[in-house]
Amino acid sequence: MTPSLPDDISSVDLTDPKTFEYYDLRDYWQQLRNTRPLYWHPPTASGPGFWVVSRHADVMALYRDNKRLTSERGNVLVTLLAGGDSAGGKMLAVTDGERHRDLRNVMLKAFSPQALRPIVDQVRVNTTRLVVEAVRRGECDFAADVAERIPMNTISDLLGVPAEDRDALLSLTKSALSSDEEDHSANDAWLARNEILVYFSDLVAERRAEPTDDIISVLANSTVNGEPLSEELIVLNCYSLIIGGDETSRLSMIESVRALAQHPEQWQLLRDEKVLLESATEEILRWATPAMHFGRRSVTDFELHGQVIAAGDIVTLWNSSANRDERVFGDPYVFDLNRSPNKHITFGYGPHFCLGAYLGRAEIRAILDALRTFSTAFEINGRPQAIHSNFLSGLCSLPVRFYPDDAALDAYLDRNRVTG
């Protein structure tokens, strides 16, 4: 049974991963949105106090604002509370202004829909194969057996990560920002992040010597204002891409299965093709909201909701609240695959809108399409396990029993016997 929230909301610690595991924060976020849309979170053992922004309109406005706010001193609680991010001004996610624009333009070449078309085609092939294998077995841990294998392989294909390195890299990315284990320490996460950086340092050196057609080779041979990108800058942005490219899609895929199992009427709409895959994908992204928050530092004093945010203050923008804001979403706590409009901000907004949003959407569409094609139904047949994080929300384990569509499976196997 989920414990009830304490009467004094100031005792709710948003820096503690256990808060998100043990509490249902629905009432907490509703109270903040309705009575304290700009809330001062008191200092904790993790660091100083910070502002909490919970309304959709305010979160969007502050995501757009790169004049009064900066991401270069951290963009998630772990770095903001530590006083800064060593990658500031180098990694795209924690770089602002002209430098951010120049770096983003370099990377956009590899993330345009046209450039990603062959990757998306392969996503569909790989996703179909994994779902078919899971449905034929009848039971699986959907997180480990299906969802973990799709985004990591996709972003690894883009970056040129060899197949034999991917399982180890997945383990490191899961440890860098969250954990499957409750006793995971900040030092464990720090070590994981550094191992990822060392790995990409070696890979960048290989690509400088022998370029291929992957993103690392593109970065290694690109210039900004006539200057080649430094090894440090390339390595940091590879780290950002592997983390971002894996976490959002993987956690959203896992949540899609849990949500559809818990809402059989929505599953039937999807199965009967009475809802568009595009619409279903957007609701999955809103419902899952894997990245609960992002943050900024104020670079000047300014006022919001009658309160002054002072220069140097930490400002956190809570997607998990904004995506349930009653001012924007009718019945926000209802899972509705036909929801329209659906102005979720799961991929952020403004200058730092997620570079991989197109690819992430394609991955979720592929999993939904495969599920409705090859299974007539599925159910959770074990205890789901939540990750431990104050940044990411989702599951690391989801035991599932599938009920197959035998005709669709037979047709798929026949096609692949012929083409194989």
d(CA 25, CA 47): 22
pTM assigned to the model: 0.93
Region class of 270: left (phi > 0), else alpha (psi between -120 and 50), else beta: alpha
What is the percent of the chain with per-residue pLDDT over 70, rounded to a whole number? 96
Above 90 in pLDDT, residue 372? yes
pLDDT value at residue 115: 85
Q: Which residue bears the tokens 């720090």?
A: 190
What is the percent of the chain with per-residue pLDDT over 90, rounded to a whole number? 70
More confident residue, 137 or 112: 137
Are 384 and 258 spatial neighbours (Cβ–Cβ below 8 Å)? yes
pLDDT band at 246 (very low <50, low <70, confident <90, very high): confident
Which domains can be identified in the chain, with CATH numbers?
A: 9-419 (1.10.630.10)
AA identity, residue 261: A
pLDDT value at residue 420: 45
pLDDT value at residue 108: 87
Q: Mean pLDDT check: name the lowest of 3-7, 60-64, 97-101, 202-206.
A: 3-7
Angle between helices 113-137 and 357-374 (to 10 degrees): 30
More confident residue, 71 or 163: 71
Six-digit token string for 156 = 């690894």
- Which are the contacts of 291, defined by CB distance < 8 A and separation ≥ 6? 247, 248, 319, 346, 348, 391, 392, 393
d(CA 310, CA 70): 13
d(CA 31, CA 48): 23
AA identity, residue 201: S
Above 90 in pLDDT, residue 270? yes
DSSP conformational letter for 285: H
Mean local confidence (pLDDT), 159-180: 81
Q: SS3 string of 115-161?
A: HHHHHHHHHHHHHHHHHHHHHHHCEEEHHHHHHCHHHHHHHHHHHCC
Six-digit token string for 370 = 């495969």
Mean pLDDT (the chain) is: 92
AA identity, residue 1: M
AA identity, residue 186: A
Are 127 and 366 spatial neighbours (Cβ–Cβ below 8 Å)? yes
AA identity, residue 80: L
pLDDT value at residue 6: 77
pLDDT value at residue 208: 86
Are 80 and 297 spatial neighbours (Cβ–Cβ below 8 Å)? yes
Mean local confidence (pLDDT), 384-394: 94
HSE, side-chain direction, 13 A CA sphere, residue 244: 23
Where is mean pLDDT largest: 66-75, 114-123, 242-251? 66-75
